[in-house]
Homo-oligomer: A and B are copies of this chain.
Amino acid sequence: MSVTELTSPPAQPLYRTLADHYLGAIRSGVLTPGERMPSVRTLMRTHAVSLSTALQVCRHLESEGWLEARERSGYFVRQPRRALLAPVKEPEVATPDPAAYVGVHARVSAIVARGQQADVRVDLSGASGEATLYPSAALNRIATQVLRRYPLLLTQAVTPNGHPELQTAVARRALDMGVQIAPDEVIVTHGCIEALNLALRAVTQPGDTVAVESPTYYGLLQVLESLGLRAVEIPTSPRTGMSIEALEMAVQAYGNIRAVVVVPNLQNPLGCIMPDAAKRRMAAFCDANRIVLIEDDTYSPMADSPTPLKAIKAWDRTGNVIYCASLRKTVAPGVRLGWVIAGRWHERVQMLKFAQSRPNDSLLQVVVGRFVASGAYDRHLRALRQTLREQRERMAESIAGSFPAGTRLLVPAGGFAMWVELPPNVSSTDLFEAALAQGVRIAPGTMFSNLNRFDHYFRICFGLAPSADLEAALALLGQLTRQLSER
């Protein structure tokens, strides 16, 4: 495979390459809002392209909301509307509320069930991309080849801990994140959710207290409740992640925190990324205080960042970090594969995995392992990130255009979803119900915490391709919010 193949996105038309070029200039501030875009004639000359290509460049940037055409004077860089939105507020750092029994499971289940009963036309409640954004054709081809090559794969016994092809492929990818492990340290699981279950079961007893981000992934809260664990929610910055100061205060105040679960990269629902210095400090703090650090790294390959994000595990010197990850968001939402690197608790996690569900079966491990080991995975990830970035920018613009004053938004640097702060008097539960009645589904803020702090937030997914339905759904959400805020 040639280097060009690796670095240029697959089969992108020329106008898109040029548009990206100018978009980069706008983003980096080389071209500023109000400034004139080089004329169509200039574009033709500078890049030796046809009139139609030069026009396509400008029209594309216009349709994406970056340029506006002014009668007879050409295209100008627009003030992005999202710049008008203030960012989501930072939390107060204080001693967190005492550990409370997590009772969200029933509430979350009820919200999920409400969403499933209703007739949903536009589902913005998820946290992954549409099926068509994933490499179905490549995976299906590999699957067919693998079945032909290993005809007994479905009928022979499976390998312990995971299939070596997948273990090797993910161990190699982990290197990029600063994590150096042998393939047989990888325990393959049924998604990251099973990895989290095993990690928590390995290091806690029912009744123990676990620190989590606030807000956090509702699935984690359900796991904690189902295992009889107590949670203490630690204030978390929408920019830099869990507050280590607040964690320190909680540890001092309660003294019995057994483990902490952190999503350092593209946290769900905030989208924040912990700076490397904070990751290092977190690893050291937990180690020094004998708190097990469970790292959930479901999203890091989805970051805009040109260099791979580091895992907290990269600073783990004592095996105190249990690293959990998923392939569902990056390779195939319909394939339930994740893995765990359990450090000091490897044997115990292995034993629990065996008792809970036995080693995973082989077929999809081999298929995904081969895909992840190939350059096709890198190309897929680049294209996926590019598409999502475009969809994200476009959605942020729409929200800025349709939501009332007082709405806040901090657009994340990657991932699939963003966290919107509503005006203080608007309840996202009301918005959820009103929107659902019209076929639009969002994830209300109350799903992401057991405290009563996030009712005027919601999470919205930008994984759907642009469409008139999507634009209408966003306009509807803005209009409903306006109505609710005026009540």
Contacts and interface: CB of A to CB of B under 8 A. Distances in A.
Interface of A: 105, 109, 116, 126, 131-132, 134-137, 139-140, 143-144, 147-148, 151-158, 160, 189-191, 193-194, 197, 201, 205-206, 219, 222-223, 225-226, 228, 332-336, 351-352, 354-358, 360-364, 367
Contact of A140 (B139, B140, B151): B151
Given A109-B351, A222-B354, A355-B105, A140 B154 contact: yes
Contacts of A352: 226
Nearest to A356: B197
A206 B156 CA distance: 35
Nearest to A336: B361
A135 B355 CA distance: 27
Residue of A139, A197, A205, A367 most packed against chain B (CB within 10 A): A139
B155 A332 contact: yes
A143 B151 contact: no
Contacts of A136: 151-152, 154-155
A274 B375 CA distance: 57
Given A193-B357, A357-B191, A357-B194, A335 B222 contact: no
Given A109-B351, A336-B357, 12 more contacts: A131-B155, A136-B151, A140-B148, A152-B334, A153-B334, A194-B358, A226-B351, A226-B352, A226-B356, A334-B363, A335-B363, A363-B363
Contacts of A351: 105, 109, 222, 226
Nearest to A128: B157
Residue of A131, A148, A205, A362 most packed against chain B (CB within 10 A): A131
A334 B154 contact: yes
B156 A334 contact: yes
29 contacts: A105-B351, A126-B157, A131-B156, A131-B157, A134-B155, A136-B151, A139-B154, A140-B148, A140-B151, A143-B143, A143-B154, A152-B334, A154-B364, A155-B333, A157-B334, A158-B334, A190-B357, A193-B357, A193-B358, A197-B356, A201-B226, A222-B354, A222-B355, A223-B356, A226-B352, A226-B355, A334-B363, A335-B361, A336-B361
Contacts of A191: 357-358
Contact of A197 (B156, B219, B355, B363): B355
B190 A190 contact: yes
Contacts of A367: 154
Contact of A155 (B139, B151, B156, B355): B139
A233 to B, nearest CB: 18
Contact of A362 (B223, B228, B334): B334
A132 B151 CA distance: 10
Given A147-B144, A364-B363, A190 B109 contact: no
Contact of A219 (B109, B139, B355): B355
Given A154-B335, A190-B357, A143 B147 contact: yes
A193 to B, nearest CB: 5
